[in-house]
């Protein structure tokens, strides 16, 4: 059944061709038969027509007693029985004509017997009916010949009409069932060539072209699905590559921030700005907690009412801080955020290590300077003190000399001794300052370490309020700040006789405020004897920080040292 459906077009066209061939063959065969049957008609009509003339000639011969009567009789007999007339006995000759011809032969036999007997009267009486019968026979021959011609024309017309009908049907069938579907297939092929796979060929016939059209449509649909899936796969891989490239770029930019010689607050802010460039992230903040409870918070982006997500920053299971972020659709790459969190963890660790290294370098440098001072200037001062002691002894033994001169010499020696002692004291304190050891990069821990070492030198109680984050201070700033605090606390320990010393460190809007206050005896700041090199050193360090150092003190009230500088300038 399926094979019959598949071959319907070729079968129909084949049948049409067979029908056309059959009609052409039949029409031509019938026409040939009619033509063959008509080949003898003209001769038969002529021969039959000559019989009328011969009949009248025989009547004339018998009337005139012509000697040619027998000859003409034989000619009449030959004409009547000629091969042309004998052809009338064929199967295709109408029975009426054959019957009339037979009767004509019988009548001629009767008439001829009268001619042979030369019965003039009888012949003349029969010649008229005989001629009339011949006329009727000739008319039938003519009518039969015309009927053949009419039949030939009818058969030719019918055959041509049937052929035309079959041809028109074949053309219309071919146009509808072959040409139109082929044009649709060609148009579909052109669209396929142009990568337009979404097409439908409307051919619901059950022939082979219909099956081909449906198969072609299904193939186009499969190609469309395959091409769409391939395009989607390419788009997904392209998106992944772009995402990977973007992620690598983000990681590279964040890693670049670690390649600087000194990490600052701005570098971490740049990392967070690079982070929120990821699709979906709207805000991020970095919180760095320190041992003293202070926190450094860096925020970027626009806060939303959505939930904050948190990622701890760990290095060897030690918490460096926390990374918080907010996002909206599309969801960001959590693996990328985790990698950036690792980079931030290393950055914080690197910042601390870097600061500690810088401080160690500074301390080593200062220790070197202290050793040089001790080996050179300190030795010279010690030698001068020894020589001055020898000089004083020599002057004491020479008591019998001029009194006035001796008094002047004693006074001069006394001044030299005081100034030399002051110089030696300053040098020892400078050596102590240079030999200050700061092992911790964290400012809070370094401050606690400093105050612990000073606590052994006094009975006064220290009150510390430190809110400074270490992230905001570079190594030089931290060293200068610790030295100022140390100098102020040492002054309070040595000269104030205080019961309580307060150290307060705060940051507000990028400004560092440090205050050291004591409840000691106080002093008069205008007295240069009391306010010599220590305060000058603190002022010099404050200028290095590009800050301002102020000192307030009254006798019996205590002292108050205040330092203020900007982070961007210090």
Local mean pLDDT, 10-residue blocks, the chain (570 residues)? 53 84 88 79 80 80 78 82 80 80 82 73 76 83 84 88 89 83 84 79 76 83 85 85 76 71 73 76 81 75 80 80 80 77 79 72 67 60 72 67 59 69 62 55 79 84 85 76 86 85 88 91 69 70 87 86 78
Q: Could you tell me the pTM of the whole model?
A: 0.46
Can you say how many angstroms the Cα of residue 430 is from the centroid of all Cα atoms in its chain?
68
Angle at 245 between CA 239 and CA 251, to 5 degrees: 135
Say what the pLDDT of residue 530 is: 46
Q: For residue 363, how many other CB atoms are within 10 A of its CB? A: 17
Whole-number Å distance between alpha carbons of 346 and 484: 31
Whole-number Å distance between alpha carbons of 203 and 216: 11
Whole-number Å distance between alpha carbons of 333 and 318: 25
Say what the pLDDT of residue 5 is: 45
Say what the pLDDT of residue 562 is: 93
Backbone angles phi, psi at 559, to 5 degrees: -125, 155
Say what the pLDDT of residue 504 is: 92
Say what the pLDDT of residue 37 is: 76
- Per-residue tokens: 191: 């669209």
Whole-number Å distance between alpha carbons of 512 and 474: 13
Are the C-beta atoms of residues 47 and 84 closer than 8 Å to each other?
A: yes
| Tokens 């004409």 found at | 79
Say what the pLDDT of residue 502 is: 93
- What is the set of domains in the chain, with CATH numbers? 2-186 (1.20.120), 246-349 (3.30.450.40), 440-570 (3.30.565.10)
Within 8 A by CB and 6+ apart from 190, the residues are none
- Per-residue tokens: 450: 């400093």
Are the C-beta atoms of residues 86 and 47 closer than 8 Å to each other?
A: no
Q: Can you give the length of the chain in residues? A: 570
Whole-number Å distance between alpha carbons of 9 and 135: 60
In terms of phi and psi (left: phi > 0; alpha: psi -120 to 50; beta: otherwise), the region of 316 is left
Are the C-beta atoms of residues 247 and 281 closer than 8 Å to each other?
A: no
Which DSSP category does 105 fall into?
H
Q: Do β-strands 461-466 and 500-508 pair in parallel, antiparallel, or remain unpaired?
A: parallel
């Amino acid at each position: 059944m399926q094979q019959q459906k598949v071959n319907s077009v070729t079968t129909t066209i084949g049948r049409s061709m067979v029908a056309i061939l059959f009609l052409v063959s039949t029409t031509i065969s019938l026409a040939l038969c009619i033509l063959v049957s008509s080949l003898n008609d003209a001769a038969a009509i002529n021969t039959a027509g000559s019989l009328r003339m011969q009949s009248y000639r025989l009547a004339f011969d018998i009337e005139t007693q012509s000697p040619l009567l027998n000859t003409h009789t034989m000619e009449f007999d030959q004409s009547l029985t000629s091969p042309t007339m004998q052809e009338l006995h064929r199967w295709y000759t109408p029975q009426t004509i054959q019957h009339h011809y037979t009767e004509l032969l019988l009548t001629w036999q009767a008439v001829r017997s009268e001619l042979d007997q030369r019965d003039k009267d009888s012949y003349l009486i029969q010649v008229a009916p005989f001629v009339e019968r011949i006329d009727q026979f000739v008319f039938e021959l003519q009518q039969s010949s015309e009927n053949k011609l009419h039949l030939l024309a009818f058969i030719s017309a019918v055959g041509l009409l049937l052929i035309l009908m079959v041809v028109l049907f074949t053309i219309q069938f071919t146009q509808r069932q072959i040409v139109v579907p082929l044009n649709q297939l060609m148009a579909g092929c052109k669209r396929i060539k142009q990568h337009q796979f979404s097409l439908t060929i409307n051919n619901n016939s059950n022939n082979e072209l219909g099956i081909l059209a449906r198969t072609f449509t299904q193939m186009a649909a499969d190609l469309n699905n395959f091409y769409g899936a391939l395009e989607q796969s390419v788009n997904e891989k392209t998106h992944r590559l772009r995402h990977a490239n973007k992620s690598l770029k983000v990681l590279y930019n964040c890693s670049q921030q670690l390649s600087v010689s000194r990490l600052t607050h701005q570098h971490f802010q740049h990392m967070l700005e690079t982070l929120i460039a990821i699709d979906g992230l709207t805000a991020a903040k970095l919180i760095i907690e320190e041992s003293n409870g202070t926190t450094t918070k860096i925020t970027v982006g626009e806060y939303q009412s959505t939930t904050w997500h948190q990622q701890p920053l760990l290095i060897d299971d030690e918490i460096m801080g926390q990374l918080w972020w907010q996002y909206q659709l599309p969801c960001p790459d959590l693996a990328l955020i985790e990698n950036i969190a690792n980079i931030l963890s290393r950055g914080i660790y690197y910042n601390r290590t870097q600061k500690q290294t810088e401080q160690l370098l500074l301390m080593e440098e200062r220790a070197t300077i202290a050793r040089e001072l001790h080996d050179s200037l300190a030795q010279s001062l010690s030698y001068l003190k020894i020589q001055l002691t020898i000089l004083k002894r020599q002057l004491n033994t020479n008591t019998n000399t001029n009194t006035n001169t001796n008094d002047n010499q004693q006074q001069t020696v006394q001044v030299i001794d005081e100034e030399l002692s002051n110089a030696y004291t300053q040098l020892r304190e400078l050596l102590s300052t240079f030999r200050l050891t700061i092992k911790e990069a964290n400012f809070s821990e370094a401050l606690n370490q400093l105050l612990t070492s000073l606590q052994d030198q006094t009975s006064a109680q220290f009150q510390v309020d430190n809110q400074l984050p270490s992230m905001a201070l570079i190594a030089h700033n931290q060293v200068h700040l610790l030295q100022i605090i140390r100098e102020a606390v040492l002054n309070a320990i040595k000269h104030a006789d205080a019961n309580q010393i307060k150290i307060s460190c705060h940051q507000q809007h990028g400004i560092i405020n440090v205050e050291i206050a004591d409840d000691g005896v106080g002093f008069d700041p205008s007295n240069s004897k009391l306010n010599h090199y220590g305060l000058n050193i603190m002022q010099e360090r404050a200028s290095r920080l590009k800050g301002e150092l102020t000192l307030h003190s009254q006798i019996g009230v205590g002292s108050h040292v205040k330092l203020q500088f900007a982070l961007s300038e210090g």
